Chains A and B, each alone.
Chain A
């Protein structure tokens, strides 16, 4: 266990040290996955749904705030829907606008959850989202998960009915219109309502259990959340007569549970503080402060004990304290100066 905690500590140290670069890199890969999925499923407009375009969008998202990813993805989806048909684009726009008014009032800070929900649906592990929301974010993250779920089911419905939508004869009054088909994906999708209900209950239960003052609260929260999801969806699928989804759901739930335990290991009791760089002044000075957080677990202190007469060993062991030479000292000064952004001469 100590080894794992050291690993966690190393991970946190590494992240703290390179946070400035790592966060944009993570955002880049999340955005690239998102745009690749949009391209693969509903990439009807080639100009915005190609790999080079996805790469450029991901680069843009890497340097902008997380919510910019939502706006850019929404714009790409709208362009794709427009390429499919104007009616579908209008429906999508109205849906996005309704979700915007519902979502941004309550949970604008959970943009990453709204983005990751459709992505995890694509990866067949959406069951992690309400659990992760309940564990790591506040209860308000449930709004983001619900919005992401609605968007996924709507776009999946459009993807599955793309052929029908393109072949609709607008002159034939007996045929359902494109509006009927596209909105039908939303309003008539009982599976979506089931999944939303289960996700909301799961997120609330996980959040409540995680906050309880009992031993293993996080583990209990994860297990109770997964049981609710598996049992709820299993019964729901039976009641609604949805076939062929149980195995995928079970495998996805097991995968989600593993991810949840990894999240627990990484984030439980995490006293992670960012490295802060702030500027202020008083009457006498300007202060440029870089505050580096203290770490939790010390790196293993390896001690070698020798028993018996060490003098008889092939090589004599030097017990005296190592005194760094001038070159080593200069090197350590250079490293410290670089670490704290200070003049190297100050350390001499």
Chain B
């Protein structure tokens, strides 16, 4: 005889396994700041690449200005300006990453808690 209550609980778990397991797995494996830290490291690299690409675009557009900087021996000024821009860009980018992934972690933990509730119920049912 099929236990309908058990099927309902197992259904919720199966839906989680099918759709959300991959998405919320890190929230189960990491503490909040480890998870956010991992994402910050990833963002450091992607942000740096994005910055280089954007600077590359600017350099292509304003090649004469870049050449003028180099010719006038203002290379140091250019480098300092780039570093300041890079730090400011990364600060905004990393701050956004921290906020977004903190929210994701909190939401993910809520989903996990619901999943564990179903898991507990199913376990109880099998024990009786």
Interface residues of A (CB under 8 A from B): 90-91, 94-95, 97-98, 101-102, 105-106, 140, 177, 179-180, 183-184, 186-187, 276, 278-280, 282, 285, 287, 289, 291
Question: Which residues from B are CB-within-8-Å of A98?
Answer: 50, 53-54, 57
- Which of B13-21, B28-36, B78-86 sits within the interface? B13-21
Question: Which residues from A are CB-within-8-Å of B18?
Answer: 278
In the complex, residue of chain B having the shortest beta-carbon distance to the beta carbon of A109? B23
Q: How far is the CB of A300 from chain B (nearest CB, A)?
A: 30
Given A101-B53, A140-B100, A285-B2: A280 touches B60 (CB 8 Å cut-off): no
User: Would you give 9 A-B contacts (Cβ < 8 Å), ordered by A?
Assistant: A95-B53, A95-B57, A101-B46, A101-B49, A101-B53, A180-B61, A180-B62, A187-B61, A280-B11
The answer to whether A280 touches B13 (Cβ under 8 A) is yes
Question: Which residues from A are CB-within-8-Å of B50?
Answer: 97-98, 101-102
Q: Sort A-B residue pairs by CB-CB distance and give the 4 closest, nearest first.
A: A183-B61, A278-B14, A101-B50, A98-B53
In the complex, residue of chain A having the shortest beta-carbon distance to the beta carbon of B10? A280
A140 to B56, CA, bound (A): 27
The answer to whether B42 touches A105 (Cβ under 8 A) is yes
Question: Which residues from B are CB-within-8-Å of A91?
Answer: 57, 60
Interface residues of B (CB under 8 A from A): 2, 6-7, 10-11, 13-15, 17-18, 42-43, 46-47, 49-50, 53-54, 56-58, 60-63, 93, 96-97, 100, 126
A278 to B7, CA, bound (A): 11
Question: Which residues from A are CB-within-8-Å of B6?
Answer: 282
A91 to B17, CA, bound (A): 42
The answer to whether A287 touches B10 (Cβ under 8 A) is yes
The answer to whether A94 touches B10 (Cβ under 8 A) is no
Q: How far is the CB of A256 from chain B (nearest CB, A)?
A: 27
Question: Which residues from A are CB-within-8-Å of B97?
Answer: 105-106
Which of these, B11, B63, B96, B126, contacts A291 with CB under 8 Å?
B11
Question: Which residues from A are CB-within-8-Å of B49?
Answer: 97, 101
Which of these, A102, A186, A280, contacts B14 with CB under 8 Å?
A280
A184 to B54, CA, bound (A): 13
Question: Which residues from B are CB-within-8-Å of A177?
Answer: 63
In the complex, residue of chain A having the shortest beta-carbon distance to the beta carbon of B104? A140
Which of these, B7, B56, B63, contacts A289 with CB under 8 Å?
B7
A187 to B54, CA, bound (A): 10
The answer to whether B53 touches A278 (Cβ under 8 A) is no
The answer to whether A279 touches B53 (Cβ under 8 A) is no
Question: Which residues from B are CB-within-8-Å of A280?
Answer: 10-11, 13-14, 17
Which of these, B11, B43, B60, contacts A183 with CB under 8 Å?
B60
A94 to B61, CA, bound (A): 12
Question: Which residues from B are CB-within-8-Å of A140?
Answer: 100
Greatest chain B CB density within 10 A among A90, A105, A183 is at: A105
The answer to whether B58 touches A187 (Cβ under 8 A) is yes
Q: How far is the CB of B20 from chain A (nearest CB, A)?
A: 12
A280 to B9, CA, bound (A): 11
Which of these, B10, B62, B63, contacts A282 with CB under 8 Å?
B10
